Amino acid sequence: MDLNRYSPNNLKRPSKGLINIHPIQRGGILTEEARKILLEWADGYSVCDVCLEGRVDLLRNPPVDELKQDVAEFLGMDTARFTAGARHAKFAVMSAFQRGTLVLDSLAHYTSYTSAELNDMRVFEVPNSGYPDFRVDPEMYAETFERVREETGSYPDLALLTHVDYRYGNLADAERVGKICEEYEVLFVLNTAYSSGVMEVNGKKLRTAFIVASGHKSWAATAPIGILATNYELSDRVFRTSKMRGDWSGRAFTKKELAVFGCSPVFGLPVMTLMASFPGVVERVKHWNEEIEKARWFVREMEKIEGVQLIGERPKNHTLMHFESPAFHSIAKKHRKRGYFLYHELKKRGVFGVQAGMTKNFKVNIYGLSWEDLDKVVSAFKDIAENYGVEVED
Amino acid sequence: MDLNRYSPNNLKRPSKGLINIHPIQRGGILTEEARKILLEWADGYSVCDVCLEGRVDLLRNPPVDELKQDVAEFLGMDTARFTAGARHAKFAVMSAFQRGTLVLDSLAHYTSYTSAELNDMRVFEVPNSGYPDFRVDPEMYAETFERVREETGSYPDLALLTHVDYRYGNLADAERVGKICEEYEVLFVLNTAYSSGVMEVNGKKLRTAFIVASGHKSWAATAPIGILATNYELSDRVFRTSKMRGDWSGRAFTKKELAVFGCSPVFGLPVMTLMASFPGVVERVKHWNEEIEKARWFVREMEKIEGVQLIGERPKNHTLMHFESPAFHSIAKKHRKRGYFLYHELKKRGVFGVQAGMTKNFKVNIYGLSWEDLDKVVSAFKDIAENYGVEVED
């Protein structure tokens, strides 16, 4: 066993000191406030010092109970729980509909599918429009509901929409899907892993039954922490408590909520960093328009490079984006580093996060970058292009 | 919404600056090495910077794949995964035995019961000897297996033993239970939430099919992180991958492991702090005998206080312990702070972690305390006793 490889000196982050445009990293960068409390709350179960009720969401010191209610209000919902990531939140919802039927958009994150599979749900996909914009037409939810009824005899139990998908960064029309779900009386699950926490999301307006969110993706928290918000009518069903009784001891655990493993495993830093970042998050969602402005400027600049083309909806409504770049791909074919050349050339220029090996297509996320850093990123791409003889418009 | 309560100035840890003997806190205190890497890896999904395979346990930079194998070897098992706490590890095992039968000791943690309930398992308890030592007799496993066969027609699918229970800190005879499970061909699940990481645990010797561990309880890691270690024969069953295929898109996720939500939500600090602490953990388990020596000394000193009595097995084989203290209880009845007096009196003397409100019984954990701090803790209890006229032997 070579334990030396785990020495702190050998555990440097690959992106250290670089501008990180990795698609999943931007919304999870801690606020200064979260950084300030790191050392204080880093040990194991730190928040459980004065736990009296045996559930992290009921803690008053630190104020997790208050945070839970404030987060629910912020999302336009009645109540919420923290979970071990958005994936755990989706599992929790679906565990209350085991062996039922789920409709989801075909751009959904893999954890939407695997949560359904783990709960033996039957899954029906809502098509997307395919290349090049990959849009999900809300009306197709109605059509898919009808198809489900034909095949199973009844409408689905749940309809999940990925608010912003991880492949193209398209912003789906959640309001329209919400209205359709309401008409069909199908419970609407909105996965906001890339939206709430960076942009405003209001469940009342969108008619959601459940909102799933990701703290480490979009609420400036350490991993793992997700949010599952719901309404009072559904709360008892999804946050159902234990009914078991020990056959010899008579022990019972009537306060423990099954779907979050009794007491949700977010004690310690995940919930504390989400808490410390929360005031900053409440503020930052008001400035989403500036982020969109930057995203659209970024697309215009990137498309000045010969052959580079945005894939997904136009204009951009999110900071996560997907480009095609046949010119970089042609370079890769002849380059001694092959597809890795782009990764290395970017790194040389202080930019990190385009997946190593990718040149034909790549994804980036520019959320929260200053105009200055954004300009550095654009200049890096343009400079690489020019160095390899690819044309760049003025 | 009063956001000011989330300001870093208002988020001080209640135990700050005090000797913390809270039963769940001692084994999760970070090592210096883990503290060193905190800032570097604190942002959201930090470890995913150079993820190519879509699974955190396959990462090579940082070396999570290597860590996974080293942790498995350290536990005397073939392979392992990291999970969102021991509770998630138990859920993962039981999700592969849905609607089956589970035998567990009647001292088991509530998450052993609720994981079974979430997976629709039928649960049978192994009795314990009751007051005052609450021992679990390994032979009762055989008896319970027979009872299960009488009631269900077959032996149970799984037998879970809580290696060290959270109520009395009793160390169960895992080797004997392992042998009985082997004889009956029942898969043996050992919950080592309070043992592995502080003391040596070897699955080969104990004949375990699954070892569950808690990183934030006993491996000096930030929460939440658990470990699920198993053998090659069982690995495919418990870490089964997705078989689903999108009905419209044809999308498949054949690398994703269902029971850990596809890719286990421990990315970022949980796995990095466990990694940085691992060399220290490998070293510290060798010094467990000194911890037992301290624990036994502590019991002797505490029992010099009139009426104070250790509950649970004697002599102590673990640092977590449970005392009865009728004298403190009598004081509480007349005290204006009622049961809270002990908490406050200890806090005044720099000692934290006895649950506020408890006097008749209380639990502490002295793991990793220096002799000097241990002496301070003993002196605090004795001083309180004497101040209230309770006799203390010399």
Q: What is the mean pLDDT of chain B?
A: 97
> How close, in Å, is residue B255 to chain A by CA atoms?
11
User: Does residue A380 sit in helix, strand or coil?
Assistant: helix
| Whole-complex ipTM | 0.97
> What pLDDT score was predicted for residue A73?
98
Instruction: Say what the pLDDT of residue A47 is.
Output: 97
Contacts of A88 in chain B (CB under 8 A): 84, 261, 265
Domain boundary among B285, B311, B334: B285
**Residue-level pLDDT at A81:** 98
If DSSP codes are grouped into helix, strand and coil, which group holds residue A13? coil
Query: Does one domain contain both B311 and B279?
Result: no
Task: Note whether A50 contacts B: Cβ–Cβ < 8 A.
Answer: yes
Q: Would you say residue B227 lies in a domain?
A: yes
Rg (CA), chain B: 23
A7 CB neighbour count, 10 Å cutoff: 13
Reference B19, options B392, B364, B289; nearest CA is: B364
What is the distance between the alpha carbons of residues B212 and B189, in angstroms, rounded to a whole number? Answer: 7
CB contact (8 A) between residue B37 and residue A276: no
Of the residues A250, A285, A320, which one is the last residue of a structural domain? A285
Q: Decide if B299 touches A, using CB distance below 8 A.
A: no
Shortest CB distance from A44 goes to which of B52, B115, B217?
Answer: B217
- CATH code of the domain covering residue A357: 3.90.1150.10
- Tell me the percentage of chain B whose pLDDT exceeds 90: 99
pLDDT on residue B183:
98
User: What is d(CA A196, CA A393) in angstroms, rounded to the nearest whole number?
Assistant: 36
Q: How far apart are CA A257 and CA B87, in angstroms?
A: 12
Buried-exposed string A268-295: b where 16+ CB fall within 10 A, e elsewhere: bbbbbbbbbbbbbbbebbeebeebbebb
Cα dihedral A344, A346, A348, A352 sign:
negative
Residue A42 is classified by DSSP as: -
Q: Which residues of A touch B7 (CB under 8 A)?
A: 33, 279
Q: What tokens were used for A336? A: 């001694």
Q: CB distance B224–A84 less than 8 Å?
A: yes
Together in a domain, A94 and A230? yes
| A292 within a domain of the structure (yes/no) | yes
- Domain range holding B145? 30-285
| Short-list A82, A188, A187, A172, CA closest to A135 | A172
**Cβ separation B125–A246 shorter than 8 A:** yes
CB contact under 8 A, A44 and B63: no
Q: What is the pLDDT along chain A (394 residues), one digit of tens a residue?
A: 999 999 999 999 999 999 999 999 999 999 999 999 999 999 999 999 999 899 999 999 999 999 999 999 999 999 999 999 999 999 999 999 999 999 999 999 999 999 999 999 999 999 999 999 999 999 999 999 999 999 999 999 999 999 999 999 999 999 999 999 999 999 999 999 999 999 999 999 999 999 999 999 999 999 999 999 999 999 999 999 999 999 999 999 999 999 999 999 999 999 999 999 999 999 999 999 999 999 999 999 999 999 999 999 999 999 999 999 999 999 999 999 999 999 999 999 999 999 999 999 999 999 999 999 999 999 999 999 999 999 999 8
What confidence score (pLDDT) does residue B227 get?
Answer: 98
DSSP codes, A334-358? HSTTGGGHHHHHHHHTTEE-SPTT-
Q: Is residue A122 domain-shared with residue A269, that is, in the same domain? A: yes
Chain A residue with minimum CA distance to B358:
A52
Cβ distance of A265 and B224 shorter than 8 Å: yes
Residues B238 and B277 in one domain: yes
Out of A125, A248, A267, the one facing B248 most closely (by C-beta) is A125
B365 and B239 in a single domain? The answer is no
Q: Is residue A199 part of a domain?
A: yes
Residue B96 sits in the same domain as residue B162: yes
pLDDT at residue number B191: 98
Report how far Cα B121 is from the mean position of its chain's Cα atoms. 22
Residue B393 placed within a domain: no
Digit-coded pLDDT (tens) for A173-194: 999 999 999 999 999 999 999 9
The residues in A 204-223 lying below 8 A from B, measured between CB atoms, are: 215-217, 220-223
- Looking at the fold, whether B275 and B312 belong to one and the same domain comes out as no
- Taking the Cβ of residue B11 and every Cβ of chain A, the question of whether any pair is shorter than 8 Å is answered with yes
Say if A30 is an interface residue toward chain B (CB within 8 Å): yes
Instruction: Pick from A39, A43, A126 the residue to mutate for testing the B interface (most B CBs within 10 Å).
Output: A43
Task: Determine the Cα–Cα distance for residues B47 and A80; give it in Å rounded to an integer.
Answer: 28
Whether residues B223 and A28 touch (CB distance < 8 A) is answered with: no
User: To 5 degrees, how large is the angle CA B309–CA B315–CA B319?
Assistant: 80
Using an 8 Å CB-CB cutoff, list chain A residues near B13. Answer: 40-41, 46, 49
CB contact (8 A) between residue B5 and residue A352: no
Rounded Cα–Cα distance for residues A32 and A296 (Å): 28
Q: How many CB pairs under 8 A join A and B?
A: 331
Please tell me the distance from the alpha carbon of residue B368 to that of residue B291, in angstroms, as a whole number. 7
- DSSP assigned state of A364: E
Indicate if the alpha-carbon torsion angle B230, B233, B237, B243 is positive or negative.
positive
Q: Which residues of A touch B61 (CB under 8 A)?
A: 14
Verify that A252 and A336 share a domain, yes or no: no
In chain B, which among 62-101 make CB contacts under 8 A with chain A? 62-63, 66-67, 70, 73-74, 84-85, 87-88, 91, 95
Closest B-chain CA to A87: B261
- Considering only CB atoms, which chain B residues are within 8 Å of A11? 37, 40-41, 62, 272, 275-276
Residue B392 in any domain: the answer is no
CA distance A68 to chain B (A): 12
Cβ atoms B242, A117 nearer than 8 A: yes
- What's residue B368's pLDDT? 98
Chain Cα centroid distance, residue A292: 18
Q: How many domains does chain B have?
A: 2
- Note whether A56 contacts B: Cβ–Cβ < 8 A: no
Q: What ranges in chain A are assigned the alpha helix state H?
A: 32-37, 64-74, 86-95, 110-118, 139-152, 174-184, 203-206, 215-218, 232-238, 269-284, 288-302, 326-334, 341-348, 371-387
Query: In chain B, what residues touch A357 (CB-CB under 8 Å)?
Result: 52
Report the pLDDT value the prediction gives residue A9, as an integer from 0 to 100.
97
CA distance A140 to A148: 12
Question: pLDDT-derived band of residue B22, with 50, 70 and 90 as boundaries?
Answer: very high
Give the pLDDT score at A308. 97
CA atoms within 13 A on the CB side of A300: 9
CB within 8 Å: A114 and B262: yes
Domain membership flag for residue B394 = no
Which two tokens mark A138?
A: 């809300």
Residue A124 to residue B247, Cβ atoms within 8 A: yes
Domain edge (last residue) among B241, B262, B285: B285
Can you give chain B as a three-state secondary structure string?
CCHHHHCHHHCCCCCCCCEECCCCCHHHCCCHHHHHCCCCCCCCCHHHHHCCCCCHHHCCCCCHHHHHHHHHHHCCCCEEEEECCHHHHHHHHHHCCCCCEEEEECCCCHHHHHHHHHCCCEEEEECCCCCCCCCCCCHHHHHHHHHHHHHHCCCCCEEEEECECCCCCCECCHHHHHHHHHHHCCEEEEECCCCECCECCCHHHHCCCEEEEEHHHHCCCCCCCEEEEECHHHHHHHCCECCCECCCCCCECCCCEHHHCECCCCCCHHHHHHHHHHHHHHHHHHHHHHHHHHHHHHHHHHCCECCCEEECCCCCCCCEEEEECHHHHHHHHHCCCHHHHHHHHHHHCCEECCCCCCCCEEEEECCCCCHHHHHHHHHHHHHHHHHCCCCECC
Which of B49, B102, B109 to mutate: most A Cβ within 10 Å?
B49
Structural domain includes residue A393: no
The CA–CA distances, whole Å, from A203 to A75, A104, A116, A186, A322 equal 6, 18, 22, 15, 28
Judge if B321 and B215 occupy the same domain.
no
Both tokens assigned to B286: 């060798």
* pLDDT for the residue A90: 98
Portion of chain B with pLDDT greater than 70, in percent: 100
In a domain, A392, yes or no: no
CA nearest A85 in B: which residue?
Answer: B265
Residues A201 and A328 in one domain: no
- Residue B377: pLDDT band (50, 70, 90) is very high
Test mutation, A7, A261, A272, A278, chain B, max B CBs within 10 A: A261
- CATH code of residue B129: 3.40.640.10
Q: In this structure, are strands A351-352 and A19-20 parallel, antiparallel, or unpaired? A: parallel
**Shortest Cα–Cα distance, A273 to chain B (Å):** 9
C-alpha distance from A393 to closest chain B C-alpha (Å): 31
Smallest CA-to-CA distance from A112 within B268, B178, B251, B313 is with B251
Helices A110-118 and A86-95 pack at an angle, to 10 degrees, of 30
Is A130 strand, coil or helix? coil
**What average pLDDT score do residues B83-102 get?**
98
Q: Determine contact: A131 vs chain B, CB below 8 A.
A: no
Q: Which of A194, A190, A155, A166 is nearest to A176 (CA)?
A: A190
Q: Which residue of B has its CA nearest to A279?
A: B3
Beta bridge partners of B322: B311, B363
Q: Are B99 and B226 in the same domain? A: yes
The reply to whether A21 and A68 lie within a common domain is no
Q: Which residues of B touch A216 (CB under 8 A)?
A: 44-45, 267-268
Per-residue pLDDT tens digits for B37-71: 999 999 999 999 999 899 999 999 999 999 999 99
Give residue for tokens 């899954």.
A123
